[in-house]
Amino acid sequence: MELRTESAISPGAYNETIPAKGPHIKNVPLESISKLAPYSALILCVIFIIYFFIRFYILEKFLLRKVYGRTYTQMDETTRRGFVNHHIAGGTKISILILAAYPFISVIFLSSTLHSRFAGSKSVTMGDILIIAAQALVAMYVFELFYRTKISPVSVGHHIGAIMIGQAAIAISLDLSREKDATIEFLLCLVWGAFDIISEFLPHITIILYRVYPTDHIFLRKLFRVSAITTLTGTTAETILAMYFFGSLWNRWTIAFKVTTPILHVIFAAAQLWGTYVLYTMYKKQCSIIANEEQKDDAETAPPTPQTEGKEVTVTEVEGATRNEEDQAERGEIPVASDYSAFHDRFESSDRRARQSRTVIK
């Protein structure tokens, strides 16, 4: 008589993990990113070719000339390249946002994994879409480093760091037997990239509009102010969320990533805060121009005095000097206050002392 016993536990149950409390990212298993990961270099090359065709045959060939006219054709080479780059970067970020928003939210916050099917597809997975989006963002940074004639050291450091960490996250995922934190490292890179796309998109639009409407100072003041606020808010939110995920996954990190991840985040955050400072500086310059124009209007409407008769207050030189300072700010250089700004500060100080003296006399 043969005795047979069957287990009440299904064979597949041995591969299941008990969901941990906390964010969904804690329950994402160690798995390959995508079947496309071995071909990530090929994906990168294809995206470079797409960028070239868009830049050379569409943007520079006819589109920017047709849309912006003399505003574009009269730009010098440095300004023109920066202008084109902002269009490439802005368009890339919009495309990534449309393509990867659903898989990103589903994998990071909901219940999907990198191997879950994308939108009901039988062959395309969430990881396939996310790895293409990641390579598109990396290609955008490489394009900017090669294409722009002037770029600040802070931007260079940010772009090189983003390129290296993004490619490293994909590379280590090819050897999961040794790299136990490859999957969560890629997911954390996605969080960094998502906030970069969201918070850094408006500055691209801001610089484009600054070139198109250089004399609409009230509009530019509002635009630079909003851009500075959004980048600061985005950096703060990114730091909170990234470090929360990093701490939640503490037991799954190897010692190398426990040390390097906070350092990399500090570098990225510093670069983004520098961008916020540059935008704030350009906002203050617009405020200065508006104040100067209001002072000019007051001087024109005021009755002439023996000291001011025959003199005319102009702001042409001021706008030229300020434009040069704002160009420096866009490149990430520290702007230097113009002579007129210094004179205006002294004027306000003298006027304030005069008002105080009148108060004492009264």
User: Which tokens in the block code for residue 326?
Assistant: 């704002």
Q: What is the pLDDT of residue 345?
A: 44
How far apart are alpha carbons 280 and 274 in whole angstroms?
Answer: 10
The alpha-helical segments, DSSP class H, found in the chain are 40-53, 64-68, 70-73, 77-108, 126-147, 153-172, 182-199, 201-212, 217-248, 255-301, 316-330, 339-361
How far apart are alpha carbons 123 and 140 in whole angstroms?
Answer: 27
Q: What is the pLDDT of residue 305?
A: 58
Per the rule left: phi > 0, alpha: psi between -120 and 50, beta: everything else, 47 is: alpha
**Nearest Cα to 271, choosing from 160, 144, 142, 145?**
160
How far apart are alpha carbons 63 and 67 in whole angstroms?
Answer: 6
Q: What is the pLDDT of residue 304?
A: 59
Q: What is the pLDDT of residue 209?
A: 94
Write b or e for each residue in 281-312: b if 16 or more Cβ atoms lie within 10 A of its Cβ, otherwise e. bbbbbbebbeebbeeeeeeeeeeeeeeeeeee
Residue 30 φ/ψ, nearest 5 degrees: -75, 110
Q: What is the pLDDT of residue 21?
A: 64
Q: What is the distance, to the nearest Å, from the Cα of residue 40 to the centroid of all Cα atoms in its chain?
A: 23
Burial group, residue 66, by CB count within 10 angstroms (0-12, 13-18, 19+)? exposed
Write b or e for each residue in 90-109: b if 16 or more Cβ atoms lie within 10 A of its Cβ, otherwise e. bebbeebeeebeebbebbbe
Q: What is the pLDDT of residue 325?
A: 53
CA-only gyration radius of the chain, Å: 27
Each of the 362 residues of the chain gets a pLDDT tens digit; together they read 444 434 333 433 333 344 556 678 888 888 899 999 999 999 999 999 999 999 999 999 999 999 999 999 999 999 999 999 999 999 999 999 999 999 999 999 988 899 999 988 889 999 999 999 999 999 999 999 999 988 888 889 889 989 999 999 999 999 888 888 889 999 999 999 998 888 889 999 999 999 999 989 999 999 999 999 999 999 999 999 999 999 988 988 888 888 988 888 888 888 889 989 999 999 999 999 998 888 877 666 766 555 545 544 444 444 455 555 555 555 555 443 333 344 344 444 444 444 444 444 44
Q: What is the pLDDT of residue 227?
A: 93
